[in-house]
Structures are given as structure tokens and as C-alpha cells.
């Protein structure tokens, strides 16, 4: 499946994405809360000053990869009301909804793009975040993205993202899927809706293990890799760009 196919899939879900994802993954909100809680470990709210003016990239900016309709974006804006957000998504329709939901949309930057096409100056962001999006990239493209993210982060900056990960054991991975389906149906989903997610997963999801992600992220030059929250396929992981970067 091509990036445009991925965008088309999420365009179709734009009007009721939040309800669909909360049925599909009942602990979705817990996951986002964990991401925000651990982001604040290295980026306390008090350390984010007023956002810079138009045309100026604040060193305290936050980049969100795959913002969708803005579920995480809204929470980021609430937690960091003075920060400038750069919000990227491949779905123009989802990005338009995200813009409408944000109180300070004129302050933020909205970018319709494939992650693989992104380019920012070195040390542009205090944090790079994402929620259930990076797994759409094949393994080599994930590695390339982490290499670029390491450059985009300012020294001491944080990469933190929530995503789906493959279990090391295929038996455990299959059990994750079974338990996921049971939880989804209990939350109000149905067989047809769950089958839609399985088809979506088969066509363009690329699940790699936590250990593989740790290897790629550390190879990119980030340190302090940690998994700070986990439920079945979903985890929240984080790492930092060292304060003192070797030339």
C-alpha cells in the first residue's frame, strides 16, 4: 500500500475517527496520558516560553508526526499552551479537522506530507512526538526517520511516541491479537469493524519489536531509550538527544 492509500484510508475515517479508535483500542486515552506524563519529565511546562513569531522556529517547538484529527495535538496544546506545534499528517482531511480543534491554530504549523519527505533544520525541536503512526513505515524507512529526528532535536530534546510493536514470539504476538479483539468487541466494536483493522494492518502496517526500535534509535545517536507504558501491541517509548553532542 502506498502513502496515498494510507492517507485515503484515514480520510474515510476522519468524521468519526476518535470514536472508532476508542472502540478499537479501549486503552487509547490511557496511552496518550502516559505519553504526556513522561514527556513532562524532560520538558516541564514551566520551561516552555511564549512561542516565537511567524517565520521563526522556536527551540522549544514540538513536532508531532501523524497528528491525524488532533487527539494528541489538543492535549499537547493544553499541556504546553505557549509552545508552537508543527503538526504533520499524510491525510489533508484529518489535518484540516486537527486545525479546527486547536485553540491557537494560527500559532502552529500544519504540514501535509509523508514522513519520508520531511526536512527540518538541526536542533529545531525540544520534542518530537507521535501516536500510532510510525509503524506505517517499513523498517528501513523507520531507521532513516530516527536518524533525521536525532538531528531535528535540540541537545537534551526528547523523542517520545506511542505505537504498535511486534512481540518477539509469534505465539505471544498472536495472543496479543486475540486479546485485542476481545477488548475491542467488549468496548462496542463488531466483527466487521475489527476485520477492517486487520485488513488495514495486513496491507500496510509494519510491526517491529521494541528491541529492534531500541537498536535503531540508539544507532541514530539518541540515548536513555526506555519503554514507559505497554498494553498488548501498544507501547510508549522515549529517548533523548545527549546534551553534549559530539561534533
Q: Collapsing DSSP states into helix, strand and coil, what is residue 40?
A: helix
Q: How many Å apart are CA 81 and CA 60, to the nearest integer? A: 12
Residues with pLDDT less than 50, the chain: 1-4, 6-7, 52-59
- Residue 52, pLDDT score: 47
pLDDT score recorded for residue 214: 99
pLDDT of residue 134: 98
Domains of the chain in sequence order: 3-240 (3.40.50.150)
CA dist 152 and 120 (Å) reads 6
Given this model, what pLDDT does residue 59 score? 45
Question: Tens digit of pLDDT for each residue in 6-41?
Answer: 445 555 555 577 888 888 888 999 999 999 999 999
Helix axes 17-24, 191-204, angle to 10 degrees: 90
SS3 224: strand
Q: Whole-model pTM above 0.85?
A: yes
Cell of 110: 500544519
**Burial of 187 per CB tally in 10 Å (0-12, 13-18, 19+):** middle
Q: What angle do CA 106, 109, 115 make, to 5 degrees?
A: 160
- DSSP letter string, 164-215: E---SSHHHHHHHHHHHHHHHHHTT--HHHHHHHHHHHHHH-----HHHHHH
- Residue 155 cell numbers, joined: 541537545
pLDDT for 7 equals 46
What's the CA gap between 227 and 197, in Å, rounded? 25
* Cα(64)–Cα(83) distance, integer angstroms: 12
Q: Is 75 exposed, middle or buried (0-12, 13-18, 19+ CB in 10 A)?
A: middle
Amino acid at each position: 500500500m502506498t502513502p496515498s492509500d494510507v492517507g485515503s484510508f484515514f480520510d474515510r475515517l476522519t468524521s468519526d475517527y476518535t470514536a472508532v479508535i476508542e472502540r478499537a483500542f479501549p486503552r487509547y486515552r490511557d496511552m496518550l496520558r502516559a505519553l504526556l506524563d513522561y514527556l513532562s519529565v524532560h520538558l516541564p511546562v514551566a520551561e516552555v516560553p511564549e512561542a516565537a513569531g511567524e517565520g521563526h522556529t522556536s527551540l522549544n517547538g514540538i513536532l508531532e508526526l501523524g497528528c491525524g484529527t488532533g487527539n494528541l495535538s489538543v492535549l499537547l496544546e493544553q499541556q504546553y499552551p505557549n509552545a508552537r506545534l508543527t503538526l504533520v499528517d499524510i491525510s489533508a482531511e484529518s489535518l484540516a479537522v486537527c486545525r479546527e480543534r486547536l485553540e491557537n491554530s494560527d500559532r502552529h504549523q500544519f504540514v501535509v506530507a509523508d514522513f519520508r519527505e520531511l526536512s527540518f533544520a538541526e536542533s529545531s525541536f525540544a520534542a518530537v512526538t507521535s501516536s500510532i503512526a510510525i509503524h506505517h513505515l517499513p523498517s528501513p524507512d523507520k531507521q532513516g526517520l530516527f536518524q533525521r529526528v536525532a538531528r531535528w532535536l535540540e541537545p537534551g530534546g526528547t523523542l517520545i511516541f506511542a505505537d504498535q510493536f511486534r512481540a518477539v514470539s509469534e505465539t505471544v504476538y498472536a495472543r496479543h491479537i486475540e486479546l485485542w479483539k476481545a477488548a475491542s468487541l467488549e468496548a462496542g466494536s463488531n466483527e466487521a469493524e475489527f476485520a477492517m483493522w486487520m485488513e488495514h494492518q495486513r496491507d500496510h502496517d509494519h510491526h517491529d519489536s521494541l528491541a529492534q526500535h531500541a537498536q535503531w534509535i540508539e544507532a541514530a545517536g539518541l540515548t536513555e531509550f526506555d519503554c514507559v507504558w505497554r498494553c498488548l501491541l501498544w507501547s510508549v517509548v522515549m529517548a533523548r538527544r545527549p546534551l553534549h553532542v559530539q561534533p
